Structure 1
Amino acid sequence: MSKKDLHYLITRIINPYLNWIVASLRSSNRVLYGRDGYTRIHWMDHTLSDTFASELEEWRNNLWYSYRENFLERGTEILDSLLEIMIRIEAKLPDSDSKGRVISNLWEMAEKVEAYLGLKGYVESKKEYFSNKVVEIRRRDEELRQKLEEQKKKEDIGVKVNKRSIRKSISEPERKIYPATNKRTFPATSSQEKPKKKRKWKRPWKKFFGFILVFLVLVTLYDLSHTNGQLVRQAIPDDIEAKILGFWDTAKNSTEEVPSVKSLASTAVACSNVDYSLEAALECYLNDPNEFQALEPLAFQLKSSTLQESAWNILEWEDQHIQYDWAKYRGLRSTKIQKPSETIQRGSGVCVDYAVLTAGLLLAMNYSPVYVFEIDFSNDPMGHATTAIKINGQFFMIDQHPPIMDLGTYWKYWAYWRSEYSDRTLRNLIISSAKVYEARLESGKVVVDYVGTLTGEEFKKYDYTFSGADLTRLISDLRAKFIRKFPNLQLDSKISNLDIATSLPYGYSDGVTWKTTFPDFTEHYTPLFHDEFVDYIYSQIIDSKEIVSDLRTYNRFWVKGQVEGGNMKVILCLAKK
């Protein structure tokens, strides 16, 4: 063909393979029984293969709507989104002949699509990535499965203990101890009393000689230090004199090793700056054993299996329990930097208080190093402070409220969205530079070092670009989460267009759709925090009691996502059948 078109790609190349693959995955006569540690779907439940079939159909349908004008230029994006679905099929479905045929046909279809798009060798270059991702997903699922089994065992043990204690309380009569009222007493007669011995006065010789010995030692020390030992030389033999003088020289030398007044003063100065110096506050507060002890219970509560989830947990906790202290910000009360325990106790603080608390919690979780940014703005004299972590060589900002952001998104937030998110009460600010401090655990203490300065332009370099593959993965995992949380629901692609349909499909009695928009979500999303973003989307949706009521009422559902500008819209379709 002289001219390539999307219609030919879908109808002549994709459909012959995909129609058979979808039919094989569908829950009809040919079932691929699914297992998934992530969703806790049972081995004999075929819902998972239905999900993958629907994902493949949605991938094909999305080609018509999203790639009509420039599908050749976006060929790698088309293949990447297909490969992500193939990875999950390979990782989450059990090995079988049927699955083997499905995967084989998918690879063959991908190679045909690759050839038509003129991307020879691209699929082959992705096979190592494919294998690594499959291994990673299976490992994560297995870890979660083991964790769930351990949790179930603990719950079973708890139930047995409770039952045992109940049986014991029923079978054993209560024993009461009453006061003895029939006690007989026999007063001693005069003949039974033993005469007291008269105690003779004794002189405390030991104390007396001890006092004399101490007095002599003090006199000797005074003589050695002020008269160079003249009295000692006259009163004792020469050999004993030599031993005493040798001991005195040793005593003088060891005293010089005690920290001098100057060195103690320098330590005091370092801690005296904690009220207004971020670096000094980090070093002093985070090396205070009492502060670490105060942080440990909360750190233990919030720590999870990964750094990403632990950091997100801290951010959510601070969002719910710590209020921004506007009175302190405006100078209406003390502006000193608070200890982490003070911020927790007061339930309020300014940016630097949040930063010190967040860094302390991460270090108490044994994550090291952590980073604290001291930020300057080009259009405001007031600075800002926040905490960051570093993953795969990139900084991610943990600043008072979810979500966690990469540097590029963080710069955009201050420059473009701050005013909008605050209902125009705060103005947008331009980050010009940021001093970066590293706080790390080293030999049982926290060491704080200044490690450099980032410019605003360097912030903007690290900005992830949201893709169609990201949307597909988000929606897929969101569906799995709904299935896990609401067992009454079954995924049904027949109601996938319920939001735009004028009537219900045949056989359905009732239906409803919910749309939730997440502003600037595509700007905030980053794959390293994928699981946390899925949980965040889910929590925002079920925050509505009406939606939760509908989720429990209906028995068929479908979830799909749309990107509109930088916003992401999640559409939940529900129906009864």
Structure 2
Amino acid sequence: MKRFITALIVAFMVLTAGCLSTIPQTGRSSGAMYPSTSETTSSSTPIPGGTPASWTNPLVSWGNASVSLPTHDASLDCPGILWRYVLKDALTCMLDRKELRVISPLAGELKGKDLTQSSWNVLAWEGEWLSYDREKARQPFARVIVYPDGRQEVVEGQNNTIQTPYETIMRRKGICTDYTVLTDALLLAMNYSPVYAMALNLTDSGHATALVKINGWYFALDQHLPPMDLGAYYRYWEGQGGRIVNATLYKITPGEGKADVKVLGVLSGEEFLNQDYSMSDADARNLAASMMNVLHEDFGLKVDRSLIELSTGKLPRGYKAGWTWGVTYPNLADYYHPFFRGEYAGWLVSQMLSNAEFKDYLEKSDALWIEVKTEGEDLILTIYLGSS
């Protein structure tokens, strides 16, 4: 019996979760808010004990600007190897103040007027600059043994490492843990603190995401726009066939060197529904008003509610031509939260303007009216345009 007990404590396993891609649908027409043009030179993912990857004169695009980051490599002063394979250890090690300074030029460009706008900008930039690394996602999940004497050994999935924020920027691709670390790093580099992360257990695999907390609400910042409150995020995964069983929530604050990462607790899937905003008719009207303000400021179009007569086939008095344009965004009414109303307005307008036919009608017009409605979880926009 004693020999059996000794065998049990020879080693314990540290298992890293799997990682699924999460790409929310945001409409049947799409536009690039932040097109990328610069090229970077990358190298393969470093294996612990090998030669660190490095980049020279890296440029990163955001909008019409190219941001230069310092020449850097992937070597970090962290003990052991768990920081390359386990999310909590990666957050502690990779969100080091020195690492944050390396990406601070990009963070400065992405920073908005507040945490809401900054979070939106980070997701928008990630959606354009980065792609999901499906080849890496097919790698076996890492399995690490930590022995009683402190020795650590990776017995499977040696190449499935978590990337530093700098590595992910330079490689322009990653999986969920890479996105999580990068998102939190950019926000910390903007001097927002604390930030959050979650390691999720799904019914069929595992996942990770960054979060922010705004006025008491948690929002998942998961690789692509839009941010989602926890209720919408829970339903998103239900729609993907991977229901959330539970999730470990981490709170991250910068330390003197390494980041301070604390476990706040484990949420059951059902607890996600405790923070679940429902878009109201007033929200729909306010979003429409914000979109009309954007188009008025950018194109000088006057706002005229009489254009709604176009829905009955009539041309309102004083107009010689009119057009109606409609678009449905699946699930966007479920994702919507009024904290991000201004960001949604600019984003939806940019998506419409990416359609050449719509832009042509817009340029022929001098007046508009917009209706926003919800149908189940979908968001329906109707744009009325008139030429007088």
Which TM-score band applies after superposition, normalised by the shorter structure?
0.7 to 0.9
Q: 2:283 & 2:97 partners in 1: Cα distance? A: 43
2:92–2:258 contact (8 Å) kept in structure 1: no
Q: Shift in Å at residue 500 of structure 1?
A: 2.9
1:477–1:534 contact (8 Å) kept in structure 2: yes
1:271–1:280 contact (8 Å) kept in structure 2: no
Query: Cα distance 1:506–1:292, how it changes in 2: closer, same or farther (>3 A)?
Result: closer
Residue of structure 2 equivalent to 1:366: 191
Q: What is the CA deviation profile of residues 498-536 of structure 1, one whole-angstrom value per residue up to 9, with x for unaligned ones?
A: 1332x3234422121110111122211111212112122
Do structure 1's residue 494 and structure 2's residue 306 form an aligned pair?
Answer: yes
Query: Cα distance 1:528–1:506, how it changes in 2: closer, same or farther (>3 A)?
Result: closer
Residue of structure 1 equivalent to 2:144: none
1:271–1:281 contact (8 Å) kept in structure 2: no
Residue of structure 1 equivalent to 2:366: 555
Residue of structure 2 equivalent to 1:461: 274
Equivalent residues in 2 for 1:176-187, closer than 5 Å? none
Residue of structure 1 equivalent to 2:179: 354
TM-score normalised by the chain length of structure 2: 0.73
- Is the partner of 2:309 in helix, strand or coil? coil
Residue of structure 2 equivalent to 1:300: 108
Question: Which amino acid in 1 is paired with 2:268?
Answer: T
Residue of structure 2 equivalent to 1:478: 291
Task: Pick one of 141, 165, 169 that aligns with 1:340.
Answer: 165
Q: 1:509 & 1:411 partners in 2: Cα distance? A: 49
Q: Percent identity, please.
A: 38
Residue of structure 2 equivalent to 1:422: none
Residue of structure 2 equivalent to 1:105: none
TM-score normalised by the chain length of structure 1: 0.50
Q: 2:184 & 2:334 partners in 1: Cα distance? A: 25
Residue of structure 1 equivalent to 2:264: 451
RMSD value, Cα = 1.8
Q: 1:513 & 1:394 partners in 2: Cα distance? A: 37
1:339–1:356 contact (8 Å) kept in structure 2: yes
- Is the partner of 2:260 in helix, strand or coil? strand
1:376–1:384 contact (8 Å) kept in structure 2: yes
1:519–1:567 contact (8 Å) kept in structure 2: yes
Residue of structure 1 equivalent to 2:233: 410
Residue of structure 1 equivalent to 2:128: 320
Question: How many equivalent pairs are there?
Answer: 296
Q: What is the CA deviation profile of residues 96-127 of structure 1, one whole-angstrom value per residue up to 9, with x for unaligned ones?
A: xxxxxxxxxxxxxxxxxxxxxxxxxxxxxxxx
Q: 2:382 & 2:333 partners in 1: Cα distance? A: 16
Equivalent residues in 2 for 1:254-273, closer than 5 Å? 270-273=79-82
Residue of structure 2 equivalent to 1:522: 333
2:252–2:262 contact (8 Å) kept in structure 1: yes
Task: Pick one of 58, 65, 84 that aligns with 1:275.
Answer: 84
Q: Shift in Å at residue 443 of structure 1?
A: 4.2
Query: Cα distance 1:372–1:509, how it changes in 2: closer, same or farther (>3 A)?
Result: same
Question: Which amino acid in 2 is paired with 1:520?
Answer: N
Residue of structure 2 equivalent to 1:574: 385
Q: 2:79 & 2:336 partners in 1: Cα distance? A: 40
Q: 1:316 & 1:269 partners in 2: Cα distance? A: 31
1:521–1:566 contact (8 Å) kept in structure 2: yes
Whose radius of gyration is greater, 1 or 2?
A: 1
Query: Cα distance 1:293–1:508, how it changes in 2: closer, same or farther (>3 A)?
Result: same
Q: 2:373 & 2:96 partners in 1: Cα distance? A: 49
Q: What is the CA deviation profile of residues 201-243 of structure 1, one whole-angstrom value per residue up to 9, with x for unaligned ones?
A: xxxxxxxxxxxxxxxxxxxxxxxxxxxxxxxxxxxxxxxxxxx
Q: 2:163 & 2:117 partners in 1: Cα distance? A: 26
Q: What is the CA deviation profile of residues 20-63 of structure 1, one whole-angstrom value per residue up to 9, with x for unaligned ones?
A: xxxxxxxxxxxxxxxxxxxxxxxxxxxxxxxxxxxxxxxxxxxx
Q: Structure 1 unaligned runs (5+)?
A: 1-266, 419-427
Q: Structure 2 unaligned runs (5+)?
A: 1-75, 141-156
1:397–1:410 contact (8 Å) kept in structure 2: yes
- Is the partner of 1:304 in helix, strand or coil? coil
1:508–1:575 contact (8 Å) kept in structure 2: yes
Q: 1:552 & 1:268 partners in 2: Cα distance? A: 56
Question: Which amino acid in 1 is paired with 2:91?
Answer: L
Query: Cα distance 1:542–1:269, how it changes in 2: closer, same or farther (>3 A)?
Result: closer
* Structure with the bigger percentage of helix: 1
- Is the partner of 1:496 in helix, strand or coil? helix
- Is the partner of 1:514 in helix, strand or coil? strand
1:299–1:361 contact (8 Å) kept in structure 2: yes
Q: What is the CA deviation profile of residues 227-285 of structure 1, one whole-angstrom value per residue up to 9, with x for unaligned ones?
A: xxxxxxxxxxxxxxxxxxxxxxxxxxxxxxxxxxxxxxxx9884421121111111111
Question: Which amino acid in 1 is paired with 2:371?
Answer: K
Q: Shift in Å at residue 341 of structure 1?
A: 0.7
